[in-house]
Structure 1
Amino acid sequence: MPDSQGLQRSSRAKGKGAEHIAGDCILLGAKDFASDGADYGDDIARAQASVPGGRAMIINFTVKARVASRAGASAYLKQPGDAVIVDRSGPRWLILSCPCGCGAELPVNLDRRAGPAWRLYESPKGTSVYPSVWRDTDCQSHFIILRDKILLFGPRGDDWWFDEEEISETELLDRVLETLSAPERSVEEIADQIAGSVPWDVMRCCRKLCRKGKAIEGTGQSKGRFRRL
């Protein structure tokens, strides 16, 4: 079962149609369970509204240790963005010091057997987590973890970061196009077919392919799913 904070997925079927900055979003502390599909947040304005300029604060994400029990995590969490992975024959939890600086320790479930869960992507480029994390209680922080950075969002919850992320992705763009098929697929499904990729990068490539007229994104409950044209 989920932790007492309630790790639960938001659902476009229940939402108001506001677009999230990327494909999936899981709420921390939500009261309503929903489907396990590709989800968006209900209202981006609820994200950390005090960020200057309405864009995102970028801070370091640092995995300080791997421990066998959640009880041993707190001693390692000194600064916002510090994290500990609870690993018992595989990652079970990511315990994170909230990036907003409120001091809360956020337990992020990595074990799908225990309920709605995030996925951990580790590579030489850094650690990423998918989908985004959104607390719907207390500080209401909303953020992405991408290659050892945390993007803490303010009121401008659009796709600006897809264009501003400076990585070389020509090869990935080609591979995403090759992987796209006629039936719509989520970015997580596409990333699973491309070794070494993470859904955030796949999402950015899919959006670029849409602008080039080579792919199309679904609408309504299919928002965040893509197919080849």
Structure 2
Amino acid sequence: MKRLIARALRRLGWLRYDLLISPVAQHPGKNAVPPGELWLVIDTGVKKWACMSCPGGCGVQIALSLNPDRRPRWSVETDFWGRPTVSPSIHQHRACSCHFWVKKGVIEWCR
């Protein structure tokens, strides 16, 4: 329900985001994550992966490890509306070489 309200607020211009969290139980593997979604893989209550399609439009699937014992690693926080904040920045070295931040669901491109 909250997701529907967030989409309505976005259409009205009252809420800004490029991505919303979609919690899932399994890593998508080679399945495409739909644009506008960040799949948060949660297994037995533990955040494992953050997966998304590259916002640069090259079609590459990005999978970010959330395991605190591995490097590199990222963290994902979610606000009330389901908008993700990912830390640190994401630098996709394949295909289009995008470098960006995700803050409150908004893609902020690095120079």
TM-score using structure 2 length: 0.71
Q: Secondary structure at the match of 1:60?
A: coil
- 5 Å-filtered alignment, 1:32-111, equals 60-63=18-21, 65-71=22-28, 74=31, 77-79=33-35, 81-88=36-43, 89-111=45-67
Listed one character per residue, the Cα deviations across residues 112-147 of structure 1 (whole Å, up to 9, x for unaligned) are 223321111222263201110012232100000000
- 1:72 deviates by 6.8
Distance 2:107 2:66 in 1: 18
Would the aligned equivalents of 1:100 and 1:152 in 2 still touch at CA under 8 Å? no
Q: Calculate percent identity across the aligned residue pairs.
A: 24
Would the aligned equivalents of 2:60 and 2:95 in 1 still touch at CA under 8 Å? no
What is the root-mean-square deviation of aligned Cα atoms in Å? 2.3
Q: Point out the structure with the larger strand share.
A: 2
Specify every segment of 5 or more residues in structure 2 that has no aligned partner in the other structure, as ranges.
1-15
Q: Point out the structure with the larger helix share.
A: 1
- 1:90 deviates by 1.4
The reply to whether residue 148 of structure 1 matches residue 105 of structure 2 is yes
The reply to whether residue 133 of structure 1 matches residue 90 of structure 2 is yes
Q: Secondary structure at the match of 2:69?
A: helix
- 1:66 deviates by 1.5
Distance 1:141 1:98 in 2: 8
Specify every segment of 5 or more residues in structure 1 that has no aligned partner in the other structure, as ranges.
1-57, 158-229
Would the aligned equivalents of 2:102 and 2:108 in 1 still touch at CA under 8 Å? yes
- 1:85 deviates by 0.7
Distance 1:131 1:110 in 2: 11
Distance 2:27 2:101 in 1: 22
The 1:59/1:140 distance shift into structure 2, 3 A limit, reads farther
Structure 1 residue ranges (4+ consecutive) displaced by more than 6 angstroms after TM superposition = none
- 1:73 deviates by 8.1
Letter in 2 for 1:128: T
